Amino acid sequence: METDAPQTTGPAIPAARPPLQVRMFSPILKALVSAGVPLGYNGLITIRGRTSGQPRTAAVAILPRDDSLWVWAPWGEVHWVRNLRAAGRAFITVRRRPKEEVTARELDEAQRVAFFRDVLGPFARTIPLGAWFIRIIDGVDLNDTEEAATRTRVFELHPVR
């Protein structure tokens, strides 16, 4: 007998959670970035919630490189990653610039290895303590790009023209 009911393959996998210190500092970072305080490459990403449809905002590092913008989630399948994957587009805000609408393309694992090797790694090494910060705070060793690509998520963003 056929049915139109959705098939389930098991319980839903819960969203990943950043470390406690990151969860505690995140609202402060979000407030500072919202107020226009220059905090390096940190900005805000606002994405339509995949369940509620309501806008959800998170503070993220927005890395400009070549003609693209990149955002990455060191802790994997966090809620903003799931929302961005479902929506395919978002608004980003950097400092006091107007919100900019972007489309998002998620990188597969091989593309993430290339991102860590060719984009984030070289970039972080140009910033004093950049690679150290990413290793200590984000828990990502830029010298082990395969492991980094396994547990992180990366999106390439392009402005909507």
On whether residue 141 sits in a domain, the answer given is no
The pLDDT of residue 128 is above 90: no
Domain count across the chain: 1
On whether residue 135 sits in a domain, the answer given is no
On whether residue 55 sits in a domain, the answer given is yes
On whether residue 6 sits in a domain, the answer given is no
On whether residue 46 sits in a domain, the answer given is yes
Give me the mean pLDDT over the 139-161 stretch.
88
Question: How confident is the model at residue 148, as a pLDDT?
Answer: 85
On whether residue 1 sits in a domain, the answer given is no
10-14, 54-58, 88-92, 136-140, range with the lowest pLDDT? 10-14
Band the pLDDT of 4: cuts 50, 70, 90: very low
For residue 23, what are the CA distances in angstroms to 18, 56, 58, 154? 6, 15, 11, 20
Q: Which of the listed ranges 31-35, 45-49, 121-125, 145-149 does the model predict with the highest average pLDDT? A: 45-49
Name residue 101's amino acid. E
The DSSP symbol for 16 reads P
Band the pLDDT of 14: cuts 50, 70, 90: low
On whether residue 48 sits in a domain, the answer given is yes
On whether residue 132 sits in a domain, the answer given is no
- Give the distance from CA 1 to its chain's centroid: 43
Q: What is the CATH number of the domain that holds 30?
A: 2.30.110.10
Question: How confident is the model at residue 30, as a pLDDT?
Answer: 73
Q: Which domain holds residue 59?
A: 20-108+152-159
Give me the mean pLDDT over the 83-100 stretch.
91
